[in-house]
Amino acid sequence: MELHMETMAASIGVSVPVLRFLLCFVATIPVSFLWRVFPGRLLKHVYAAFSGVLLSYLSFGVSSNLLFLVPMLLGYAAMVLYRPKCGVITFFLSFGYLIGCHVYYMSGDAWKEGGIDATGALMVLTLKVISCAINYNDGLLKEEDLREAQKKNRLIKLPSLIEYLGYCLCCGSHFAGPVFEMKDYLEWTEGNGIWAHSDKGPSPSPYGATLRAIVQAAICMAVYLYLVPYYPLSRFSEPIYQEWGFWRRLSFQYMSGFTARWKYYFIWSISEASIIISGLGFSGWTESSPPKPKWDRAKNVDILGVELAKSSVVLPLVWNIQVSTWLRHYVYERLITKGKKPGFFQLLATQTVSAVWHGLYPGYMLFFVQSALMIAGSRVIYRWEQTIPTNLGLLKKALVFINFSYTLMVLNYSAVGFLVLNLQDSVGLYGSVYYVGTIVPITLILLGYIIPAKPARSKARKEQ
């Protein structure tokens, strides 16, 4: 069996542990489908938890479930013992534990060398545990003091232990996400909310949307396997890279980031398929006539939205969508002082939390600081664009194109740190293109103060 696994792994160019993970990860699709056949709430919760435990064991070994048990128990204990502060307690304890695991396992090095461990799944589990505790904490607050997302997701009643375990490990959804809310999980299991019988028709069939996600996953993997031999990360450390000129180096950095993204597109397409086929991916009906089902709850990426983004500001809305949503609801919005507008501090703090969540490698830190600069610079271009009167349409289109080009250049420049992780290598590769992706955003931010954007006034307004 092991020899057969080695042959299979060698044929697709991955290690045996990665192949084992991929097989279990793809298995989440039939495992999630089988959830539908179990009658009653209790059996569904038990199956969701047990299937998650089994898939974790087959993927990473018995130690993985012990690794996952710690944050789950910490979060549940905080909710039981001290509800008024359970959200804050769980946030810091879970993140502290995750940081400790990042330091101990140094997973980034293993991933670069073709290995894999349970830390990636722990990252997803951490977000689920924290959101559950915070929403249970929000259940104590007055409804008029809450934002819309808080009103929607807050928990009035403590979930039972089996409900909690089913939510955390649901059919292997902790492998790569998407992150979803405890309240949605409970309503889905109980057949309430949007999963209740609707006058718009019977429960929608998930099979068409599942097939679309599987086909998308196959295409993404094919593109990745085609591109990766031409744009390997090892090229950055080869002498030939240093012999290239500026434009060739910059274009290789662009293609390296572009190539790496298709791996994530594949992973998220598979996770989307597994959540959709279970029924949890259903997110309501369209307003069209006749109404059509929407399957956005499991969507973690809009591929064209990323590759053709007109502005850096939209990237968090189309890349790792569910984690971006989590960061917005549980970090960004909660740092905004009531009655005040958010600023660069909230953006930088959110990106820093995201960096720590990914791991303590300097490359991650550089990438997310770069991301904050990139978004701030893109906002300056957008504000300038909004000042252009409608009769200067060509100039407005030119600024739109500049923002698009700026986003592509800075995104893929910044992604180098995310890919190589090491501080010396990251800074060296940024320096190989003269830090263009750092200097340009900072210049734009400074120009935003020197040339402030003033809304274009109509001719009639001027005459008044």
Q: What is the largest CA-CA distance in the chain?
A: 83
3-state secondary structure of 284: strand
Q: Which of 102, 174, 329, 358 is catalytic?
A: 358
Are the C-beta atoms of 413 and 429 separated by less than 8 Å?
no
Q: What is the 3-state secondary structure (H, E, C) of 98-118?
A: HHHHHHHHCHHHHHHCCCCCC
Locate tokens 């955003």: which residue? 441
DSSP secondary structure string, 333-358? GGGSPTTS---HHHHHHHHHHHHHHH
Are the C-beta atoms of 104 and 157 separated by less than 8 Å?
no
- Helix runs in 106-160, H state only: 107-112, 119-138, 148-153
Nearest to residue 153, comparing CAs of 394, 329, 3? 329
3-state secondary structure of 201: strand
Q: How far apart are CA 330 and CA 349, in angstroms?
A: 12
Is residue 102 part of the annotated active site? The answer reads: no
Go through 315-347 and write b for each residue having 16 or more CB atoms within 10 A of its CB, e for each that does not. Answer: bbebbbbbbbbbbbbbbbeeeeeeeeeeeeebb
Q: How far apart are CA 22 and CA 13, in angstroms?
A: 13
Residue at 369: amino acid letter: V
Residue 355 CB-half CA count within 13 A: 24
Residue at 281: amino acid letter: G
3-state secondary structure of 18: helix
Q: How far apart are CA 355 and CA 137, in angstroms?
A: 25
Which amino acids are annotated catalytic? 358
